[in-house]
Amino acid sequence: MIEVKTRGELQAMRAAGLVVAATLAAVRERARAGVSTAELDELAEQTIRDAGAVPSFKGYHGFPASICASVNEQIVHGIPAKEQVLAEGDLISVDCGAILDGWHGDSAVTLAIGEVSEKDLALSAATEAAMWAGIEAVRAGNRLTDISYAVQTAAEKAGRDDGHAYGMILEYGGHGIGRQMHMEPFLPNVGKPGKGPRLKPGMALAVEPMLTGGEGETLELDDGWTVVTADGSRAAHWEHTVAITEDGPWVLTAPEEA
Ligand code: MG
Ligand code: MG
């Protein structure tokens, strides 16, 4: 039920992952007040194509762009737009996917535009910490929901440390990945441990928690894509594509080590 890749196939996925990492680095560099999310999208598409890869989001079920740009109360699947100009204090999540030689990489970061509130910084840090806790559980011998449990536990701990219970998004989560962006299984960000398929070397999963500064209820906008918090609170989203090796998790979308 979870596809197992060869070492060579994982290396091909790593190459795709590096394109995504370089693209998100370029977007991070450019993202500042006064820049539109459409400009970030153009930069991302150019970076992906210059690397000989193809943006996986563009045309995916009709999605019109190469990144999802989700600003403030937008959680995921925000459509880049000329009219969406970043302002000081915004919190933007950028999700990006690329296909190289038929293999997919998928990763997301949350970026602070200029000075953002302490609360927003803590929200993004909590979400990133939950992602890394989940990644630590992407190990042979674990079961799928050991990852969910690790994500949930880390998010709850961050909430206790920050004195604020974060909203957990139940409808969206991680997924298998390989020659398609979204493959079996769905990986919930919340759940009891010890359930679901046993993890084996050669499997690849995208781990992607989303947290909000308020409740976890979501709404989809009339554009058919953008998912926002029902209560207007801000959201953060972090994601990496991770492979299971004999030596532990291999973060395929992490930037190359110096
Ligand atoms: Mg993604
Ligand atoms: Mg994903």
Stretch 53-63: mean pLDDT, rounded? 97
Neighbours of ion ligand 1 (CB under 5 A): 95, 106, 108, 239
Token reading at 200 = 């084996």
Q: How far is the CA of 199 from the centre of ligand 2 (A)?
A: 18
pLDDT at 256: 85
Q: Return the number of other C-beta atoms located less than 10 Å from residue 115's C-beta.
A: 10
Sheet of 167-168, strands arranged across: 167-168, 210-212, 235-237
Q: Which ligand is nearest to the CA of 76?
A: 1
CA dihedral 159, 121, 147, 2 (to 10 degrees): 150
pLDDT at 188: 98
Q: Which ligand is nearest to the CA of 108?
A: 1
Q: How far is the CA of 106 from the centre of ligand 1 (A)?
A: 5
- Cα of first residue to Cα of last residue in the chain, in angstroms, is 36
- How do 227-229 and 183-187 pair as beta strands? unpaired
pLDDT at 139: 98
Q: How far is the CA of 190 from the centre of ligand 2 (A)?
A: 16
Which pLDDT band holds residue 258 (cuts at 50, 70, 90)?
low
Token reading at 176 = 């298998």
In this predicted structure, the answer to whether residue 76 has a pLDDT above a threshold of 80 is yes
pLDDT at 177: 98
Token reading at 49 = 């194509």
Helix (H) or strand (E) holding 3: none
